[in-house]
């Protein structure tokens, strides 16, 4: 993990297309702004993890349905 120190108003570039700017920091909270192309999804980690979990469950459900259909055709 790369750890950087930035002050309010300073930015970090990721590749050519993504820029993260420190908007404000107060106590234990930091506000950041993210500029990224529209084709790049930006999520809070807990939301991303939830999406991944739901996708995995949906994949298992579809696999079960396909297996059920195959068994019915026999």
Q: What is the model's pLDDT at position 9?
A: 96
Q: What is the pLDDT along the chain (74 residues), one digit of tens a residue?
A: 999 999 999 999 999 999 999 999 999 999 999 999 999 999 999 999 999 999 988 888 888 888 888 777 76
Q: What is the model's pLDDT at position 60?
A: 82
- Model confidence, pTM: 0.70
Q: What is the model's pLDDT at position 74?
A: 66
Domain segments of the chain: what residues? Answer: 1-38, 43-74
Pairing of strands 18-26, 29-35: antiparallel
Distance (Å) of CA 48 to CA 35, 60, 64, 70: 18, 19, 24, 33
């Amino acid at each position: 993990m790369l750890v950087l120190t930035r002050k309010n108003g300073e930015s970090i570039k990721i590749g050519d297309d993504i820029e993260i700017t420190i908007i404000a920091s107060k106590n234990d909270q930091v506000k950041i702004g993210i500029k990224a192309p529209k084709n790049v999804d930006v999520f809070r980690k807990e939301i991303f993890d939830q999406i991944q979990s739901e996708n995995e469950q949906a994949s298992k459900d579809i696999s079960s349905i396909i297996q059920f259909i195959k068994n019915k055709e026999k």
